[in-house]
Amino acid sequence: MIRQYEAVFIMTPVLSEEQMKETVSKFTKFLVDKGAEILFEDNWGLKKLAYPIQKKTTGFYCLLAFKAEGTVIADLEVAFKRDERILRFLTFVLDKHAVAYSEKRRANKAASAEVKAEA
Protein backbone atom coordinates (compact mmCIF):
# COMPACT_ATOMS: atom_id res chain seq x y z
CA MET A 1 0.00 0.00 0.00
CA ILE A 2 1.40 3.36 -1.01
CA ARG A 3 1.31 5.94 1.78
CA GLN A 4 2.71 9.42 2.26
CA TYR A 5 5.76 9.83 4.49
CA GLU A 6 8.03 12.59 5.70
CA ALA A 7 11.64 12.04 6.68
CA VAL A 8 13.61 14.65 8.60
CA PHE A 9 17.31 14.10 8.96
CA ILE A 10 20.19 16.05 10.48
CA MET A 11 23.58 16.05 8.78
CA THR A 12 26.89 16.80 10.44
CA PRO A 13 27.86 20.50 10.39
CA VAL A 14 31.40 19.84 9.10
CA LEU A 15 30.03 19.30 5.58
CA SER A 16 30.43 21.97 2.94
CA GLU A 17 27.33 23.28 1.16
CA GLU A 18 28.15 21.08 -1.83
CA GLN A 19 28.60 17.95 0.30
CA MET A 20 25.32 18.66 2.07
CA LYS A 21 23.47 18.94 -1.25
CA GLU A 22 25.18 15.75 -2.47
CA THR A 23 23.97 13.88 0.64
CA VAL A 24 20.39 15.07 0.13
CA SER A 25 20.48 14.08 -3.55
CA LYS A 26 21.88 10.66 -2.57
CA PHE A 27 18.84 9.92 -0.41
CA THR A 28 16.44 11.42 -2.95
CA LYS A 29 17.93 9.16 -5.63
CA PHE A 30 17.76 6.20 -3.24
CA LEU A 31 14.03 6.75 -2.77
CA VAL A 32 13.36 7.21 -6.48
CA ASP A 33 15.30 4.03 -7.28
CA LYS A 34 13.10 2.15 -4.79
CA GLY A 35 9.96 3.40 -6.57
CA ALA A 36 9.05 6.31 -4.32
CA GLU A 37 7.60 9.57 -5.61
CA ILE A 38 9.30 12.65 -4.15
CA LEU A 39 6.68 15.28 -3.34
CA PHE A 40 8.74 17.95 -1.62
CA GLU A 41 12.27 18.65 -0.46
CA ASP A 42 13.05 21.40 2.01
CA ASN A 43 16.52 22.28 3.26
CA TRP A 44 16.20 24.10 6.57
CA GLY A 45 19.90 24.95 6.70
CA LEU A 46 22.29 24.98 9.63
CA LYS A 47 20.42 24.99 12.96
CA LYS A 48 21.43 24.74 16.59
CA LEU A 49 20.70 21.37 18.18
CA ALA A 50 18.72 21.11 21.43
CA TYR A 51 21.52 19.00 22.89
CA PRO A 52 24.97 17.91 21.62
CA ILE A 53 25.08 14.87 19.34
CA GLN A 54 28.52 13.32 18.81
CA LYS A 55 30.03 16.46 20.38
CA LYS A 56 28.38 18.67 17.74
CA THR A 57 26.01 21.50 18.65
CA THR A 58 24.70 22.35 15.15
CA GLY A 59 23.57 20.41 12.10
CA PHE A 60 22.09 20.75 8.62
CA TYR A 61 18.39 19.89 8.68
CA CYS A 62 16.51 18.51 5.67
CA LEU A 63 12.90 17.40 5.15
CA LEU A 64 11.83 14.97 2.41
CA ALA A 65 8.15 14.32 1.72
CA PHE A 66 7.43 11.29 -0.45
CA LYS A 67 4.95 8.56 -1.35
CA ALA A 68 6.19 4.98 -1.13
CA GLU A 69 5.46 1.41 -0.15
CA GLY A 70 6.00 0.60 3.52
CA THR A 71 8.87 -1.78 2.69
CA VAL A 72 10.97 1.15 1.40
CA ILE A 73 11.11 2.74 4.86
CA ALA A 74 13.19 -0.03 6.41
CA ASP A 75 15.71 0.21 3.56
CA LEU A 76 15.83 4.00 3.89
CA GLU A 77 16.48 3.85 7.62
CA VAL A 78 19.28 1.31 7.12
CA ALA A 79 20.83 3.70 4.57
CA PHE A 80 20.56 6.55 7.11
CA LYS A 81 22.28 4.43 9.77
CA ARG A 82 25.11 3.45 7.44
CA ASP A 83 25.89 7.01 6.37
CA GLU A 84 28.35 8.65 8.75
CA ARG A 85 27.19 12.12 7.65
CA ILE A 86 23.75 11.60 9.24
CA LEU A 87 23.54 12.48 12.95
CA ARG A 88 19.84 11.76 13.49
CA PHE A 89 16.76 10.93 11.42
CA LEU A 90 13.04 10.47 11.88
CA THR A 91 10.64 8.99 9.34
CA PHE A 92 6.92 9.08 9.94
CA VAL A 93 3.75 8.21 8.05
CA LEU A 94 1.17 10.95 7.53
CA ASP A 95 -2.52 10.41 8.21
CA LYS A 96 -5.17 12.20 6.14
CA HIS A 97 -5.14 15.28 8.39
CA ALA A 98 -1.35 15.57 8.29
CA VAL A 99 -1.41 15.19 4.49
CA ALA A 100 -3.89 18.07 4.20
CA TYR A 101 -1.79 20.22 6.55
CA SER A 102 1.40 19.41 4.64
CA GLU A 103 -0.19 20.36 1.30
CA LYS A 104 -1.50 23.62 2.78
CA ARG A 105 1.95 24.43 4.23
CA ARG A 106 3.64 23.77 0.86
CA ALA A 107 1.09 25.97 -0.94
CA ASN A 108 1.66 28.81 1.53
CA LYS A 109 5.42 28.48 1.16
CA ALA A 110 5.15 28.56 -2.65
CA ALA A 111 2.87 31.62 -2.50
CA SER A 112 5.27 33.48 -0.21
CA ALA A 113 8.17 32.58 -2.54
CA GLU A 114 6.24 34.07 -5.48
CA VAL A 115 5.60 37.29 -3.56
CA LYS A 116 9.30 37.59 -2.71
CA ALA A 117 10.24 36.95 -6.36
CA GLU A 118 7.93 39.72 -7.56
CA ALA A 119 9.27 42.25 -5.06
pTM here?
0.85
DSSP 99: H
71-82 helix and 17-33 helix, angle to the nearest 10 degrees: 150
Cβ-Cβ contacts under 8 Å for 113 (sequence gap 6 or more):
none
pLDDT score recorded for residue 119: 66
At residue 108, the pLDDT reads 82
Mean residue pLDDT across the chain: 90
Inform me whether the pLDDT recorded for 29 exceeds 70: yes
By the 8 A CB rule, do 68 and 5 touch? yes
Percent of the chain surpassing pLDDT 90: 68
> Where do the domains of the chain lie, and which CATH numbers do they carry?
2-118 (3.30.70.60)
Residues 6+ apart with CB under 8 A from 100: none
Mean pLDDT of 6-16: 93
More confident residue, 117 or 100: 100
Reported as a single tens digit per residue, the pLDDT across 41-89 is: 989 999 999 999 999 999 999 999 999 998 999 999 999 999 999 999 9
Contact, 2 vs 72, CB < 8 A?
no
Amino acid at residue number 22: E
